[in-house]
């Protein structure tokens, strides 16, 4: 839709309108596709109209209606007319109206109509007929006569100039509209780019490392190159591999996953490349491998760091030549497969140790994606928590649950060695344990998370000295665990003793030994 109001306000159009009005006494009318007059000053002022004829037409209510009706009548003719500029005889029967059609993408958008008197000697009977029409419509014959006298008659060259200028107005309208449309779509595009993305396909995350990742994923969406995805356990390597496949040109073909660490060398060989009948005991018929099954699609080689050196050689050959030989076979088969590989291992150091081939490494890491560990993008924790809470509650048909603020704080402190998967499992566990409670209480959160240490993580993060006597260290740990537990369970010794797997009496004894007295500690806390 054209914005006729904005169009008339543009500097170029205003200038052209002034020139046409002052020099040639030509008045412009902006007519939309339905034939409505869109002049912003049409209702209010006749000052803008330089041509005595249109001044006259504008001077009375009846004339405006007349003019309006005239344009509506002309519209079907105009929208079908092939030329850009037409001349017609105007509503009074003797004046000239130029029409310059406005077409955008082959659609009729409206017309610029220009009133003037082209070099005619208005024959007296034409004028007489016009005068009659004006008077019949309720107009004044005297003022009509005056208007006619003051009309400017354009000579041939003036006619040519004004024709060009009118055409220019129509072109400017088109340019203005297309420029605006272009600018608007650019603004939307920029907005989308600037907008923080909270997710990408199934991946959730709005942190900087995730935004950077999404940007790379956008860029490689249409690429066919091999991709190497590196990241710790549970960082979403498989999720990314799928999202790459489903945004690639191969999305309608197969996506096949092979976990290289799940097979021994011989099995992986036949799994990937297939085998011919009789290749080994149990090979009772020819079997296609996953490379062939993934033909024209994507093969996701998970845990590629666990591939044996001889398999690495075979893989390299397929990647370089695009052909493979099934186990026990002799003929080469052609395959068109995009490979995405993933590993949690440090391939660079494996190359140094000689356990991963450098040539294969360079062949697969054409595009290299490093997934951030969850502890490197803690900003995403609330978003992920919400996502998994919703997912878990929805699947169990439970009302939406929320996490207690304290638990969220603990989640921030915890290093998440198992990354997203560990977080997902923890939420799943909390949903089950919290039963019908809407808010999940903090004391249900796993012990290791409350303590802020991973099960396998270093004791150092607990502030324990790893040097010195073992007995001292154990006592220190015991004291810390009991203290944490007492605070967490609000000094519920029965519950804590169960959790710690000791008797209640045993817990009380240990509490006394370490001087963990509820009142004394509350006083200390207050004093602090």
**Torsional sign, CA 320, 321, 324, 329:** negative
To Mg ion, the closest distance from the beta carbon of 341 in angstroms equals 11
Tell me the C-alpha distance between 340 and 300, whole Å.
5
User: Which residue number is nearest to ligand ATP in terms of Cβ?
Assistant: 236
Q: Which stretch binds ligand ATP (CB under 6 A): 10-18, 226-234, 276-284, 317-325?
A: 226-234
Name which of residues 435 to 474 contact ligand ATP (CB under 6 A): none
What length does the chain have? 528
Cβ of 429: how many Cβ atoms within 10 Å? 14
Find the shortest distance in angstroms from Cβ 241 to ligand ATP: 8
Over the window 340 to 359, marking each residue x when it contacts ligand ATP by CB under 6 A and - when it does not, the resulting string is ----x---------------
Q: What's the gap between Cα 407 and its chain centre? A: 31
Least Å distance, CB 333 to ligand ATP, is 30
Using CB under 6 A as the binding rule, the residues of this chain from 158 to 217 that contact ligand ATP are 203-205
Tell me the closest approach of the beta carbon of residue 7 to ligand ATP, in angstroms.
47
Q: Using alpha carbons only, what angle is made at residue 165 by residues 161 and 169, rounded to the nearest 5 degrees?
A: 170
Site string for ligand ATP, 132-151 (x = CB under 6 A): --------------------
CB-wise, 147 or 419, nearer to Mg ion? 419
Rounded CA-CA distance 76/54 in Å is: 23
- CA dist 75 and 101 (Å) reads 10
Instruction: Return all residues near 424 (Cβ < 8 A) that are at least 6 apart.
Output: 388
Please tell me the distance from the alpha carbon of residue 306 to that of residue 312, in angstroms, as a whole number: 10
Size of the site for ligand ATP (CB under 6 A): 15
Buried b (16+ CB within 10 A) or exposed e, 188-213: eeeeeeeeeeeebeebbbbbebbeeb
Query: Given the complex with ligand ATP, which of 196 and 503 has the nearer CB atom?
Result: 196
> Hey, CA dihedral for 346, 347, 348, 350, is it positive or negative?
positive
Residues 6+ apart with CB under 8 A from 466: 458, 459, 460, 473
User: How far apart are CB 233 and Mg ion at their closest, in Å?
Assistant: 8
User: Is there a contact between 110 and 143 (Cβ–Cβ < 8 Å)?
Assistant: no
CB 342 to ligand ATP: min, Å = 6
Region from 73-81, 211-219, 230-238, 457-465 binding Mg ion, contact rule CB under 5 A = 230-238
Binding segment (CB under 5 A) for Mg ion, from list 209-217, 238-246, 274-282, 378-386: 238-246
Interface region with Mg ion, contact rule CB under 5 A, candidates 233-241, 243-251, 262-270, 307-315: 233-241
Phi, psi torsion values for 150, nearest 5 degrees: -90, 5
d(CA 112, CA 201): 48
Check binding of 238 to Mg ion (CB under 5 A).
yes
Task: Report the C-alpha gap between 55 and 46 in whole angstroms.
Answer: 6
User: Is residue 259 near Mg ion by the rule CB under 5 A?
Assistant: no
The region of 82-90, 172-180, 235-243, 329-337 touching ligand ATP under the rule CB under 6 A is: 235-243
Dihedral-angle region of residue 167 (phi above 0 means left; psi in -120 to 50 means alpha; beta otherwise): alpha
Instruction: Extract the tokens encoding 479.
Output: 């004291």
Cβ distance to Mg ion smaller for residue 118 or 239: 239
Total interface residues for Mg ion by CB under 5 A:
2
* Span interacting with Mg ion, options 176-184, 229-237, 305-313, 464-472, rule CB under 5 A: 229-237
From the list ligand ATP, Mg ion, none, which binds 415 (C-beta under 5 to 8 Å, kind-based)? none
In DSSP terms, 368 is beta-bridged to 228
Smallest separation (angstroms) from ligand ATP to the CB of 283: 30
Q: Which of 260, 293, 300 is nearest to 274 (CA)?
A: 293
Q: Compute the distance between CA of residue 512 and CA of residue 505 in angstroms, rounded to an integer.
A: 11
- Min dist CB 202 to ligand ATP, Å, is 6
From the list ligand ATP, Mg ion, none, pick the one residue 426 interacts with, judged by a Cβ distance below 5 to 8 Å according to partner type: none
User: Could you tell which of ligand ATP, Mg ion, none binds residue 344, using a CB distance below 5 to 8 A set by kind?
Assistant: ligand ATP
233 binds ligand ATP (CB under 6 A): yes
- Helix H or strand E encompassing 425: helix 419-433
Among 2, 335, 385, 420, binds ligand ATP (CB under 6 A): 420
Candidates 167, 174, 220, 238; binder of ligand ATP (CB under 6 A) is 238
Shortest CA distance to 310 belongs to which of 333, 331, 327, 288?
Answer: 327
The yes or no reply on residue 32 touching Mg ion (CB under 5 A) is no
428: contact with Mg ion by CB under 5 A: no
- Shortest Å, Cβ 302 to Mg ion: 5
For residue 444, is it left (φ>0), alpha (ψ between -120 and 50) or beta? alpha
Q: Select from ligand ATP, Mg ion, none the partner in contact with residue 203, using the beta carbon and a kind-dependent cut-off of 5 to 8 Å.
A: ligand ATP
CB neighbours (10 Å) of residue 307? 25
Residues in contact with ligand ATP by the rule CB under 6 A: 203-205, 231, 233-239, 344, 420-421, 424
Residues in contact with Mg ion by the rule CB under 5 A: 237-238
């Amino acid at each position: 839709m054209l914005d006729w109001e904005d169009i008339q306000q543009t500097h170029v159009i205003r200038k052209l309108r002034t020139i046409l009005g002052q020099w040639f006494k030509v008045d412009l009318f902006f007519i939309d596709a339905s034939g409505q007059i869109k002049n912003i000053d049409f209702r209010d002022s006749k000052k803008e109209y330089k041509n005595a004829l249109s001044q006259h037409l504008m001077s009375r209510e009846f004339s405006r209606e007349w003019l309006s009706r005239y344009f509506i009548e002309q519209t079907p003719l105009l929208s079908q007319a092939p030329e850009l500029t037409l001349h017609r005889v105007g509503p009074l029967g003797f004046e000239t109206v130029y029409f310059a059609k406005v077409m955008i993408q082959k659609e009729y958008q409206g017309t610029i109509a220009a009133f003037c008197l082209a070099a005619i000697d208005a024959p007296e009977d034409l004028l007489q007929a016009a005068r009659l029409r004006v008077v019949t419509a309720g107009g004044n014959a005297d003022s009509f006569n005056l208007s006619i006298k003051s009309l400017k008659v354009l000579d041939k060259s003036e006619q040519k100039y004004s024709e060009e200028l009118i055409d220019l107005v129509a072109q400017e309208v088109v340019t203005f509209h297309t420029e605006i449309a272009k600018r608007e779509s650019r603004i939307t595009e920029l907005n989308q780019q600037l907008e923080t993305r909270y997710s990408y396909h199934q991946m959730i995350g709005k942190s900087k490392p995730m935004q950077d990742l999404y940007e790379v994923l956008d860029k490689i969406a249409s690429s066919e190159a091999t991709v190497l995805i590196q990241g710790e356990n549970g960082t979403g390597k498989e999720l990314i591999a799928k999202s790459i496949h489903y945004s690639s040109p191969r999305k309608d073909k197969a996506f096949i996953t092979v976990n290289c660490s799940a097979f021994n060398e011989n099995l992986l060989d036949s799994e990937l490349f297939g085998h011919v009948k009789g290749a080994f005991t149990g090979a009772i018929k020819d079997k296609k491998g996953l490379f062939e099954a993934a033909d024209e699609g994507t093969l996701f080689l998970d845990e590629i760091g666990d591939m044996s050196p001889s398999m690495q050689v075979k893989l390299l050959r397929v990647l370089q030549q695009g052909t493979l030989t099934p186990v026990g076979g002799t003929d080469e088969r052609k395959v068109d497969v995009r490979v995405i590989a993933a590993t949690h291992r440090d391939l660079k150091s494996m190359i140094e140790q000689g356990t991963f081939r450098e040539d294969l490494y360079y062949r697969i890491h054409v595009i290299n994606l490093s997934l951030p560990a969850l502890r490197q993008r803690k900003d995403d924790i609330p978003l992920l928590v919400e996502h998994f809470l919703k997912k878990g509650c929805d699947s169990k048909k439970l009302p939406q649950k929320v996490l207690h603020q304290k638990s969220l704080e603990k989640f921030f402190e915890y290093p998440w060695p198992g990354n997203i998967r560990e977080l997902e499992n923890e939420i799943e566990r909390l949903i089950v344990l919290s039963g019908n409670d809407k808010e999940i209480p903090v004391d249900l959160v796993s012990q290791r998370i409350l303590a802020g240490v991973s099960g396998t993580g270093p004791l150092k993060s607990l502030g324990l000295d790893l040097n010195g006597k073992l007995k001292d260290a154990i006592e220190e740990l015991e004291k810390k665990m009991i203290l944490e537990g007492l605070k967490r369970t609000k000094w519920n010794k029965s519950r804590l003793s169960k959790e710690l797997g000791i008797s209640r009496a045993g817990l009380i004894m240990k509490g006394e030994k370490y001087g963990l007295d509820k009142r004394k500690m509350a006083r200390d806390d207050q004093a602090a």
